[in-house]
Amino acid sequence: STKPYFAADLGVFLRFEEVFEVVRAIAEIFRDSDVLRQDRGRARLKFLIHDPKIGVGPDRFREMIEEKIGYQLERFTPPPPPPDAEDDHLGITPQKQEGLYYVGVGVTVGRTNGDALIRLADIADEFSTQATIRNTNKQNFIITHVPESRLSALCDHLKVNGFDYRPSIFKRFLVSCTGIEFCNLAITETKELARRIAGQLEERFPGASRKVRIHFSGCPNNCGQNSIADIGLRGGLTKVNGQSVEAYDILLGGGIGSQRAFAEAVAKKIPSSVIGQAIGDLYEAYLAWAQNGETFQQFVRAHAPQQLEEIARRCVSSLSENPPAQ
C-alpha cells in the first residue's frame, strides 16, 4: 500500500467458538460502512480504524464489534513484543515437540519452478513425519516434523537437489515483489536485480553475519513490504544523460516489534545500475559504526537523514562519465 498502517491491537482475547462470529461482525462492519465508499482508494478497513478524518480508532471499533455480536469480549493485554519480532526460520531449529525439528529452506527472491516444487514435496514426503511444507512471508519454505535421526540425510538431499537451507545473510532476508516482468502496475524489474545485488554483496562482504533485511518493490504500492525493511527499495524512473532509466528510492530504518517503524526515504531516484553499490555502501557504513551488536535500524536512527543520503548517493557521481547501457 502507498499508505501503510500498523495493525491495531483491540485488547481482547477470543475463544475458539467466538472466532467466526467476530470475524463475520468485522466483515459486516466493513460492508456497511458507507464512509469507505466515498473514495475507492480508501475502501480499506485500515482507514476506518486509523484515518485522521474518518477513522474511529481501535476502542470504538471494538465497541462496534461488541454491538454486533451482543456481548462484551474478554479483555486481554498481550506481552510486549521483542525488539525485533521478525525471523526467517531458515536452517535447523528444534520444535516444541521433543525429538522433532523444522528445516527452513531458502528460495532466493521467491522464484522457483514446478520441477523444484515437486522435488521439495518428495523430500518432505520422505523426511517429515507429517509430510508437511509451510510457506513464509519471506518467500521461503519450512519442512516441519523432521526426526533428529533424519536431519543429516535430509540436509544431504536438500543440497543434492539445489536447495539452500543456510543461505547468506543477504539472501535469507531478501524479499522482492513480482516486478515489471509479470505485474502491470510495476515500473521496474525487481527479482533478477535483487538476485544480482545479493550476489554482489556476497562478493563484497564474504562471510558477513550482521543482519540486514532488503526488500524490493517495483512501484509505490509496497507489495515487497519495503516500508518495514532495514533497506527498502521503491521502484520508479529517472533520467541519466537525457535517457529515461529504471531507478529506486532508498528507504531506511523500517521494522516491527517493540521498535516498530516505517522506513523513511533518504535518497530518491538512484538508477538501478548503481543501486547495488548504494546498498553496499550503506551496509559498509553500518559495519564500521556498529561495535556492540547494534542493529541496522539503530544505525539509521543514530544518523541524520542528510548523512545517510550522502552515503547512498556516492554511487551516482560516476554515472555522467559512464552512462548506463541500453
Q: Which pLDDT score, from 0 to 100, does residue 258 have?
A: 86
Domain count, the chain: 3
Position 4 in a domain: no
- Please report the pLDDT score of residue 42 as a whole number: 85
Q: Are residues 135 and 41 in the same domain?
A: no
Q: pLDDT tens track of the chain, all 326 residues?
A: 788 999 999 999 999 999 999 999 999 999 999 999 888 888 999 999 999 999 999 999 999 999 999 999 999 998 888 877 777 789 999 999 999 999 999 999 999 999 999 999 999 999 999 999 999 988 899 999 999 999 999 999 999 999 999 999 999 999 999 999 999 999 999 999 999 999 999 999 999 999 999 999 999 999 999 999 999 999 999 999 899 999 999 999 999 988 899 999 999 999 999 999 999 999 999 999 998 989 999 999 999 999 999 999 998 876 655 554 44
Beta bridge partners of 232: 215, 251
Residue 323 belongs to a domain: no
CATH code of the domain containing 238: 3.30.413.10
Q: Tell me, yes or no, whether 98 and 110 share the same domain.
A: yes
Domain boundary among 152, 167, 182: 167
Closest CA to 120 of 108, 105, 109, 110: 105
- The secondary structure of the chain, three-state, reads CCCCCCCCCCCEECCHHHHHHHHHHHHHHHHHCHHHHCCHHHCCHHHHHHCCCCCCHHHHHHHHHHHHHCCCCEECCCCCCCCCCCCCCCEEEECCCCCEEEEEEECHHHCCCHHHHHHHHHHHHHHCCCCCEEECCCCCEEEEEEEHHHHHHHHHHHHHCCCECCCCHHHHCEEECCCCCCCCCCCCCCHHHHHHHHHHHHHHCCCCCCCCCEEEECCCCCCCCHHHCCEEEEEEEEEECCEEEEEEEEEECCECCCCCECCEEEEEEEEHHHHHHHHHHHHHHHHHHCCCCCCHHHHHHCCCHHHHHHHHCHHHHHCCCCCCCC
Q: What is the pLDDT of residue 322?
A: 55
Task: Look at residue 137 in the predicted model and tell me its pLDDT.
Answer: 84
pLDDT of residue 325: 47
Q: If phi over 0 gives left and psi between -120 and 50 gives alpha, with beta otherwise, what is residue 210?
A: beta
In this prediction the pTM is 0.89
180/63 same-domain check: no
- Residue numbers of the domain that contains 257: 171-318
Position 178 in a domain: yes
Query: Is residue 177 domain-shared with residue 163, that is, in the same domain?
Result: no
Which residue in this structure is represented by grid cell 513425519? 129
The CATH number that applies at residue 125 is: 3.30.70.3340
CA angle at 236 for the pair 230 and 242, rounded to the nearest 5° = 130
